[in-house]
Structure 1
Amino acid sequence: MHRIDDEQRRIRLGRRHLLAPSVRASSAPAVADAVVALHSTDAATLHLSVCARLSEPGIALMERALYDEVSLVRLLSMRNTLFTVSSGFAPFVDAANARAVAAKERRTFLKHLEADGKGLDARWLADAEQETVAVLAERGRASGSELSAAVPALRTKITVFPGTRQETVQGVASRVIRLLAAEGRIRRDRPRGSWTSSQFRWTASGPWPSSPTATAQAEVARRWLHAYGPGTEADLKWWTGWGLRETRTALAAVGAEEVLLDGGAAGWIAPGDLGPEPPVEPWAALLPSLDPSAMGWADRGFQLQADHRAALFDRAGNIGPTVWWNGRIVGGWAQRADGEIVWRLLSDVGQDGSALIESEASRLTAWVGDTRITPRFRTPMERELTA
């Protein structure tokens, strides 16, 4: 069996994830396609991940792609997590993951409505949704609070988990809006605050072109293999949130080729991708929490030493801001209250590595400007660096 060692995996990461300076992109959609999908649970992460890979980073370019051109779109998709993908790839993600997530969201919400005992049902929900979409169509865009003010049904409160320790009273507005967004009937527009804010305005949207689920899953797998391969069956299953049967079916559909990884595990690559990736120049990167280069695999052993994990991950398994050197995670970084970018290394990178890390920190400081960034998922090292 053909073998692809860890060093070759790190070379592939540096080139295919656009992290070496010579391969950086000129557009945000190009970055999204290179890494397949960008984590967007934390609004700041999206911008930081893209700008780290742009030859000329800037928030104006990101906002144009997200809100003017709509060449980037946010979808509740893999692992029931908010991702941003290019508009050209969005129909495949919708069919491969987002539709199933939306269907589950609807079933769960209807159960909560039924358990509340006020007679709220699928018809009531459909009417509330229709009125919400109509308001957006008329106004163009609106925040969640503005929608609640305009649509009386959105001001309804229900009791969830009645009779249990988790019993609580909740408003339905966020659930209805989330469901409409999950189904592609509305989408997130410009936030109410800066680019680090997750308090979005909303605007009406339309459904994505229909595609068979199996066809879409094969396309997602094909793109993942190119960007993250070689990876294991378990890696793809974890990243997509699919079941084992779906994962194996998608790998077979694209004709994935099996290879041997360091340590003896079997990995998979895209068809015809056996050749070695040409090396890139030495590179360093400061990547945000949940960056795709750290979150693309279930097993990150080829890029992360096991004894570094405790400092860089929170208890839920979310990775924080990381410092990279030639495909390895070698430390963490943070922004202090005065705006200073600080970092700590967990591995020796030598003088050349330290100089490049310093240069990346300066580049990050320059385009972030006066914005202050606090990751949603805070890790031990990030907290220590900002203390």
Structure 2
Amino acid sequence: MPVRVSRAELGRTTLARQHLLRRPPAAERSAVEVVGDVGGLQAQHADMPYLGLAARRDGPVVDAVQDALTARSLVKATVMRSTLHLLPAGHWPSADVTSAEGRLASWRPSARRAGLDLTELNAAVREHCARPRTVDEVEAFAAALHPGVDAAAAIPGGVSRAWWRLASAGGGLVHVPPSGFWREHGEHRVVDGAAWFGAADRPSPDEARAGAVARYLRAFGPATRADVARGVGIRGKRPLAVALDRLELRTLAGPDGADLLDLAGLDVVPGDTAAPVRLLPRWDQLLVAFDDRTRLLDADVAAHVFRRNGDVLPTVWVDGRVVGTWSPAAPGDPVVQVTALRPLTGDARDAVEAEARRVLAATGQDAAAEVTWSDDGPGSVRAPR
């Protein structure tokens, strides 16, 4: 009979694997290693992976990440759940193949309406991207290959960048620095990953999914099958089952009795383990990589964190759970704003302010910035010290 895991044990175990219970110092764990340990860092916004790493590793983070991107040991690419991430170069091939499967499935109906073969289109674009190209250049090249084809008209509801979406669906492209650099918001360029890394080998889809699932469980487990499918971005029960069959797993019972999968040999952390205050960035993967997020936050708090437009706000964590949101300091506006969604003691508020200043210092910002508070959330009255 599977060993039952409490909600507290589940939450602490996940936070431990995310380096959110103990931040390793730079001398102990490199930026590349930490990014790999935690399953990659969301990178839709230039600054977010730096804030995510600052929460998970002691020491300055800007040069560490930028140097790794320049050295090609870290890479920025569209992978898990078809979103931009930073991840170690060695993890990219399997993440890319797995992600491409889902994107190809999504865009094939539109491609058929346009009379396009997505695999052939992607192969041509990757060859074109043997040197770095802007998205405009990729779109112009793809459109020139198929004169008279209106890609946007073939997509129900219409989208921006129709040719780019179809041409890049098959994956294989990575961002070129300075894309991925701290506060770099300029037009990005992409290049064929095989040219960038000097290797053309890509794993089979089955191998890729197994590798991606193993890394997911190591970073986020124990987890249900639905969690794994969502976090990795795998469609269909059979592809997930094939991936799981390749791994050495154990099964645990969750707080509600549901089966939880984990890699054999990994530990469950006691539920009473201390969980220090942490500040996580917008869209942090920890909050989007689960089908069931109750190990991390309550439903009324989630309603304030997950916005109707799909946005996921930066979060404040106290005692292992989300208790508020925050707005990081911006250039020219060094104020950090915190909104409490749960009652917080004076000591907890002091710890949040100290953590905010530590994150600012780790990202090379003014650690003396003002921290302001708003108490607008459910039950967020100021608690006694």
Q: TM tier, shorter chain?
A: 0.7 to 0.9
Give the number of aligned pairs: 357
User: Is the Cα contact below 8 Å between 2:275 and 2:320 reproduced in 1?
Assistant: no
**Correspondence for 1:84:** 86
> What does residue range 312-331 of structure 1 map to in structure 2 within 5 Å?
312-331=305-324
1:344 is aligned to 2:339: yes
**Correspondence for 1:11:** 12
Partners in 2 of 1:265 and 1:43 — Cα distance? 37
TM-score w.r.t. structure 1 length?
A: 0.77
1:253 is aligned to 2:246: yes
Do the aligned partners of residues 342 and 40 (structure 1) sit closer, same or farther apart at CA in structure 2, a change above 3 Å counting? Answer: same
**Correspondence for 2:115:** 114
Do the aligned partners of residues 287 and 259 (structure 1) sit closer, same or farther apart at CA in structure 2, a change above 3 Å counting? Answer: same
Residue among 211, 222, 225 paired with 1:233: 225
Partners in 2 of 1:234 and 1:83 — Cα distance? 21
**Correspondence for 2:73:** 71
Q: Deviations 1:126-155 (Å, cap 9, x if unpaired)?
A: 76764x336x2xxxx454457789999499
Deviation at 1:261, TM superposition (A): 1.4
User: Is the Cα contact below 8 Å between 1:91 and 1:208 reproduced in 2?
Assistant: no
User: Is the Cα contact below 8 Å between 2:76 and 2:86 reproduced in 1?
Assistant: yes
User: Is the Cα contact below 8 Å between 1:14 and 1:326 reproduced in 2?
Assistant: no
Partners in 1 of 2:118 and 2:260 — Cα distance? 47
Unaligned runs of 5+ in 1: 371-379, 382-387
TM-score w.r.t. structure 2 length?
A: 0.77
Residue among 343, 355, 359 paired with 2:354: 359
Do the aligned partners of residues 327 and 157 (structure 1) sit closer, same or farther apart at CA in structure 2, a change above 3 Å counting? Answer: farther
**Correspondence for 1:373:** none
Residue among 261, 275, 295 paired with 1:302: 295
Deviation at 1:166, TM superposition (A): 4.3
> What does residue range 1-387 of structure 1 map to in structure 2 within 5 Å?
1-23=2-24, 26-66=29-69, 68-95=70-97, 97-101=98-102, 103-104=104-105, 107=108, 110-111=111-112, 113-114=114-115, 130=127, 132-133=128-129, 136=131, 141=132, 143-144=134-135, 153=144, 159-160=150-151, 162=153, 166=157, 172=163, 174-175=164-165, 178=168, 182-184=171-173, 187-191=175-179, 195-197=183-185, 199-206=187-194, 208-242=200-234, 243-273=236-266, 275-276=268-269, 281-335=274-328, 338-366=333-361, 367=363, 369=365
Partners in 2 of 1:83 and 1:192 — Cα distance? 9
Partners in 2 of 1:57 and 1:191 — Cα distance? 19
Partners in 2 of 1:108 and 1:27 — Cα distance? 43
Deviation at 1:212, TM superposition (A): 2.8
Q: What SS class does the counterpart of residue 90 from structure 2 fall into?
A: coil
Unaligned runs of 5+ in 2: 367-375, 378-385
Q: Deviations 1:255-313 (Å, cap 9, x if unpaired)?
A: 32111111222212211335545975441111111112222211111211111122111
> Which AA in structure 1 matches 2:209?
Q
